[in-house]
Structure 1
Amino acid sequence: MPIVEQQKMPAPDKPAADHKGWNQQFNLLRWFSLGSFLIIAAVALGLGYISTRFVVQESIERDSILTAQFIQAIGDAELRHADITPNRSMGELLDPREKNTWPDVDPIAQSAARAEFLDHVEHLPDILLATVYALDRTVIWSTNPELVGVRIENDDELDESFEMKEPVSTSYHQIDEERPEQRLLREPKYLFVENYIPLFNADKSKVMAMVEIYKEPIDLVERIQRGFKVIWLATVIGGAVIYLGLFWIVRRASMLLQSQQQQLITNETFVALGEMSSAVAHSLRNPLANIRSSAELAQEIASQSAQKNIGDIINQVDRMSRWVRELLVSLRPMNDDYETVDLVLVIDDTLSAFEPLIKRSNVEVRFTPRSVPPVVSQQVLLTQILNSLFANALEAMPKGGVLSVDIDSPTPGHLRMTLSDTGKGMNKQQQQMVFKPFFTTKQGGLGVGLALVKRIMERFHGSVELTSQEQEGTRVCLNFKVATGGEYGAQHTAGRG
């Protein structure tokens, strides 16, 4: 039933063209998807990198501080254990070349304290290499005997550690083959931590010796790796949640903007149509009425051969009058009033009005009235909808057919009226354009029929659906909201009696 009566009439297409250009110039959803992904990814990567670096740095520095505190505490403990005067420090007693330099220190006690201290250093956990430097940068002891007696020159890190007077200087890196002091006893599995731990004199004013510890804290590295996984997993999940949440919000906003823009285009179309056609429609009504009256008078006195031509004149005048009425109704502003309408009664009235045309078209109507709750609408507008649908259905079956009307309740609180015909149907392209104003499949059609149906149905929180197959017919579903007594009691009741 091409329930559409539309032809390619020129419509105000400037808003549509502007809309198309706007979409081409700026697509909110697409640009947000790309831009927000890049920004969130960059921020997430930055935060992940900073977090992991912070975890590594803090963990290694904490481990190094504990190592330095342990070394210094062992030195102080060994001095007390050997009954060496508190006026001396372990840093002053480590260089064997200065064995008899301190007259207040027993050389035997000095050697015993030194040996015990170095034994503790040698057996530190996770150690790769331990080295002790004198003030002249000579290795005075090492877990690698090959380094003992070697003087290290041009080592900026070592020189800086002697001058800084910090409790510990820490770095972590891989093996540097060009540095002679990095003769480790075994290759590290991951990386190693290098600690420079200064040993001061008794009044903490001067660095007397430097303990260099190379260690591979395996447990710490494993914990750091687990921390990496947790940080990056949390970063990825957090970034994905933020991105998807923002994408959902912007997608809703984009759809709303498109809907509002389309509604604006539709409103502008109807406004333009109203400005153009109101004067034309009102100007045509009186001439059409005069033509019809004259044709009816002529029909009474005309010969039998002229009767058919006069009848065609009357039919065409009626058709044009219907176009004028339909156009004026479609341009009329819709108010907020609604009524509880008896859908079955309005269908019966419409079928009665179309009864002569139904008989002439040799169409079989299949409709069984039954008791259904009233729906939310306006009787005048609902009658206009049904008139348009029934007229188009009958025009789609000029050689006869079947027109079926069914009513059911797909969900609580809603009624669905289904109007089916066995007419010529529509192709897919026509179905896509079916609700567009000024598109029609009929020669001489105005193209506002289904656009008006859709507008009216949506005005009362309903909807319209159309499916069609060429040469098989068309099916239109009108979905109504059921009127409840409490909600709509204050409004008018129509269609009864």
Structure 2
Amino acid sequence: MDIAPRHAMPAPPAGSEASAARKPFDLLRWYAWVSLAFILSVAAGLGLISSRFIIDESIERDALLTAQFITSIADAEVRHVSIPDIRTMGELLDPRTDHTAMPGVDPQARRKARGEFLDHIAHLPDMLLVNIYAPDRTVIWSSNPALMGKLIEGDEDLDRAFEYRLRVSASYHSVEQARSEQKFITPPEQLFIENYIPLLDADADEVMAMVEIYKEPHDLIVRIEHGLILLWVAIAVGAALVYVGLYTIMRRAVRLMAVQQKRLIGSETYVALGEVSSAVAHSLRNPLASIRSSAELAQAFDEGPAQRNINEIISQVDRMSQWIRQLLQSLRPLNDETVPVELSQALQESLQAFAVPLARAGVALDVPALPAVQVLAQPALLAQVFSSLIDNALESMGEGGRLKVELVKRDRRSVTLRLSDNGKGMSEQQQRMAFRPFFSTKQGGLGVGLVLVRRIMERFGGSVRLSSSQGHGTRVSLTFRLANKG
């Protein structure tokens, strides 16, 4: 037996696979990541700038207070000693000028004044090292004796302080071994500060001596750390609040856009279906009317065995006509205007209209007295909502059952009415498909009843929810806006 060779199916184009695999654009997810990255970047930048500002300002403030303290001590010691022709402490600090610069001045008095000043300097709080430089960059005194008499070269901060006659401050986190003047007897633990304080002559034209102080202000460091912690916590909390706020707004906007898009698509779909349905209905009505007229005419003249078939023709024509009316009704535009409607009265009128079918089907009514409430609706459309739900309940219960209507919730703005039956119920898949157009569990049903119910309730500004389980009936909850929100 010969078998014809099979031809391989052509592979789909790569572009079509890429299009199918491409996921839709997720605006909320994209915004969440981009906004998070942007907010974190801004928060980190602000935190770093603010931290640097706090540290610099704190160090600068401490340096200013130290400089003011040193100059105050220098001025006080000069006035206390009362040496003739000596106007500033800077003129006393270099011991090499004791015998040459000022003849006739008692060297003992100069040494006493210098000693008292240096004693104050040596006992400064949080002090690590003190160096005093002559204009030639020689260390004329130091709290570390190993540095005395040493010439310091290549120190830019020292040269700048001598050149511009100003105070220079710097902060360090570790000792720089390359700097020969940083020879601490007690090494610093963490942050330490270096201050250059110039001591000028009486005319402030020349630097007579330069005081270099290394100190580790523990209280200041603790305060800086506490300030930085509070700063970063505040930035983190602020960034989190901004992110959560913006994300909440965007999520709400995305949901609103999705609802509006869904409504727009639904409206366009209904418009398109309405146009097609109108054309189909216009094309079918005349042939259906002719078929029914011919069948009725044949029924009047033929009493033979064809009578049964003629009745079936008329029944099917009526069913198709009913389908067309339901389809056109479900797809026609709904008027947005709502008026106050008495809910209990509209419900009673609908139940009264179904009194005969309910009694014929053996369905018992359980309708307690409802409070008088007015809801925003339209009488005709509200009656159509109740009629669709009662008709579905009748179809579900078949031979006997109980239909219960109750008011389950009421607040200042809305009221919820629930219709329950004990019919055959629906499966989970049927519940998911219940509000989709043209899906029906009825024999020969068109599947537009619940769709129309949802459209009408949304036009009223309300909502509809359905819950069901197989063998235990179905519950439909209708939520209406109150006409008087008192």
The answer as to 2:209 corresponding to 1:206 is: no
Aligned: 1:83 with 2:63: no
1:330-356 Cα deviation digits (max 9, x unpaired): 233222444554555555554565566
Are 1:242 and 2:238 counterparts?
no
Counterpart-to-counterpart distance in 1, 2:202 and 2:351: 115
Alignment-mate amino acid for residue 97 of structure 2: E
| Structure-1 separation of matches of 2:355 and 2:321 | 19
3-state SS of 2:409 partner: coil
> Could you tell me how far 1:312 is from its partner in structure 2?
3.4
Pair 1:416–1:307, CA change in 2 (3 A): farther
Q: Please, which moves more after superposition, 305-314 or 198-207?
A: 305-314
Contact 2:362 2:401 in 1 (8 A): yes
Which deviations, in whole Å up to 9, do the C-alpha atoms of 1:122-175 show, x marking residues without a partner? Answer: 111111111112223222211112222222233333333322321343333322
CA contact (8 A) 1:65 1:168 kept: no
Give the Å deviation of 1:197: 1.3
Taking only the aligned residue pairs, the percentage that are identical comes to 54
**Amino acid across the alignment from 2:56:** Q
The answer for the alignment partner of 1:111 in structure 2 is 111
Say if 1:483 and 1:322 are closer, same or farther in 2 by CA, change over 3 A: farther
How many Å separate the matches in 2 of 1:412 and 1:311?
Answer: 53
Q: Secondary structure at the match of 2:365?
A: strand
Range with bigger deviation, 467-476 or 451-460: 467-476
What letter corresponds to residue 272 of structure 2 in structure 1? A
How do 1:415-430 and structure 2 match up within 5 A? 415-430=415-430
The worse-fitting range, judged by mean Cα deviation, of 118-127 and 204-213 is 204-213
> Would the aligned equivalents of 2:176 and 2:182 in 1 still touch at CA under 8 Å?
yes
Which residue matches 1:137?
A: 137
Q: How far apart in 1 are the matches of 2:67 and 2:439?
A: 87
Map 1:82-481 → 2, pairs under 5 A: 82-85=81-84, 88-103=87-102, 105-296=105-296, 298-299=298-299, 303=303, 306=306, 308-341=308-341, 343=343, 346-347=346-347, 350-351=350-351, 354=354, 362-368=361-367, 370=369, 372-373=371-372, 375-398=375-398, 400-412=399-411, 414-442=414-442, 444-481=444-481
What SS does the corresponding residue of 1:169 show, helix, strand or coil? Answer: strand
- Partner residue in 1 for 2:29: 30
Structure 2 match to 1:69? 68
Which has the larger displacement, 324-333 or 99-108? 99-108
CA distance in 2, matches of 1:87, 1:453: 105
Q: CA deviation at 1:85?
A: 4.2
Could you tell me the TM-score, scaled by structure 2's length? 0.86
From the superposition, tell whether residues 153 and 186 of structure 1 become closer, same or farther in structure 2 (CA, over 3 Å): same
C-alpha distance after superposition, 1:8-47 (max 9, x if no partner): xxxxxxxxxxxx99x9443222122111111111111111
The alpha-carbon distance between structure 1 residues 75 and 311, as it changes in their structure 2 partners (threshold 3 A), is same
More displaced stretch, 426-435 vs 59-68: 426-435
> Is the CA contact 1:86–1:202 (under 8 Å) kept in the aligned structure 2?
no
* Larger deviation, residues 387-396 vs 322-331: 387-396
Identify the residue that residue 14 of structure 1 maps to in structure 2.
none
Distance in 2 separating the partners of 1:78 and 1:28? 74
Match of 2:7 in 1: none
Residues 375 and 89 of structure 1: CA distance in aligned 2, closer, same or farther (over 3 Å): closer
The unaligned stretches of length 5 or more in structure 1 are: 1-19, 488-497
Superposition CA RMSD, Å: 3.0
User: 1:122·1:130 contact (CA, 8 Å) conserved in 2?
Assistant: yes
DSSP 3-state at the match of 2:405 = strand
Q: Deviations over 1:291-325 (max 9, x none)?
A: 44544555566558655544433333332222222
**Structure-1 separation of matches of 2:317 and 2:386:** 21
In structure 1, distance between residues paired with 2:298 and 2:258 = 55
Bigger drift between 77-86 and 447-456 goes to 77-86
Q: Is contact 1:375–1:481 with CA below 8 Å preserved after alignment?
A: yes
Query: Does the 8 A contact of 1:201 with 1:207 survive in 2?
Result: yes
Are 1:44 and 2:35 an aligned pair? Answer: no
- State the 1:276 CA deviation: 0.8
Structure 2 residue ranges without an equivalent (≥5): 1-18
Q: Work out the CA distance in 2 between the residues paired with 1:447 and 1:150.
A: 102
- Distance in 1, matches of 2:191 and 2:337, equals 79
Note closer, same or farther for the CA distance 1:352–1:324 as it changes in structure 2 (3 Å cut). Answer: farther
Q: Cα offset for 1:56?
A: 0.8
Contact 2:370 2:407 in 1 (8 A): no
Distance in 2 between residues matched to 1:280 and 1:403, nearest whole Å: 39
Distance across 1 between alignment mates of 2:443 and 2:464: 24
- Aligned length, in residue pairs: 464
Quickly say closer, same or farther: Cα 1:415–1:43, change in 2 above 3 A: closer
Distance 1:441 1:55 in 2: 73
What is the deviation of 1:480?
3.3
Cα distance in 1, alignment partners of residues 30 and 370 from structure 2: 53
Q: Which amino acid aligns with 1:280?
A: V
